[in-house]
C-alpha cells in the first residue's frame, strides 16, 4: 500500500455495508444480512473507518442502558497496523459515553494477542474467560473497560 492520505471514523451509511461485508477475515455470520440488521438496530452504534474515502474497517457496539458490548471490530488486512483499529475503538467509546455508557465489555480470541494488546493499552482489564466460545473451540478472553475516566 502506498501512503495513507486521509483517514476518518464516522457513523456507517447504508452504502458502506456491501464493502464492509466483503472485508477478508470477517468472522462467519457477519455478512450483508447481519450488517444490515445491526445498521437498522436502534441500540447499535456502528462506525466505519475510511481511508481516502473508501471504507476499510468497521466496529459494532450494542448499547443497553449503561452497558456496552463490542460485537465486532474489523480492519481490512491491507490496512492493519496503521492505527485504524485504535481509531475505531476510540470513536466507539466516545459515542457510547455520549449515550450514557459506563461500562464496555468485549470478548477476544485467546490467540489474538495483537487485539488484546490494543485493549489493554486502552485501559481494558481481563475479567474472565469463556472456554470453547468460538466454533473452532478456541477460548474467548472477556475484557471490561469502565468509561468513567475515559
Active site residue 107: yes
* Cell 495513507 belongs to residue: 4
Strands 140-146 and 7-11 come out as unpaired
Euclidean distance between CA atoms 87 and 91, whole angstroms:
6
Active site residue 119: yes
Orientation angle between helical segments 84-98 and 113-121, nearest 10 degrees: 50
Residue 29 contacts by C-beta under 8 Å, 6 or more apart in sequence? Answer: none
Catalytic residue among 38, 58, 95, 119: 119
Catalytic residue among 107, 110, 126, 134: 107
Strands 103-109 and 67-75 come out as parallel
Active-site annotation, residues: 107, 119
Amino acid at each position: 500500500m502506498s501512503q495513507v492520505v486521509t483517514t476518518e471514523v464516522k457513523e456507517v451509511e447504508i452504502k458502506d455495508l456491501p464493502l464492509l461485508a466483503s472485508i477478508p477475515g470477517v468472522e462467519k455470520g457477519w455478512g450483508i444480512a447481519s450488517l444490515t440488521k445491526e445498521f437498522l438496530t436502534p441500540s447499535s452504534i456502528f462506525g466505519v473507518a475510511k481511508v481516502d474515502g473508501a471504507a476499510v474497517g468497521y466496529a459494532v457496539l450494542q448499547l443497553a442502558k449503561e452497558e456496552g458490548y463490542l460485537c465486532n471490530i474489523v480492519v481490512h488486512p491491507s490496512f492493519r497496523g496503521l492505527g485504524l483499529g485504535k481509531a475505531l475503538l476510540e470513536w466507539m467509546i466516545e459515542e457510547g459515553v455520549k449515550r450514557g455508557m459506563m461500562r464496555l465489555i468485549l470478548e477476544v480470541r485467546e490467540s489474538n494477542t495483537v487485539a488484546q494488546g490494543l485493549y489493554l493499552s486502552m485501559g481494558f482489564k481481563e475479567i474472565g474467560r469463556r472456554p470453547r466460545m468460538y466454533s473452532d473451540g478456541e477460548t474467548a478472553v472477556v475484557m471490561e473497560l469502565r468509561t468513567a475516566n475515559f
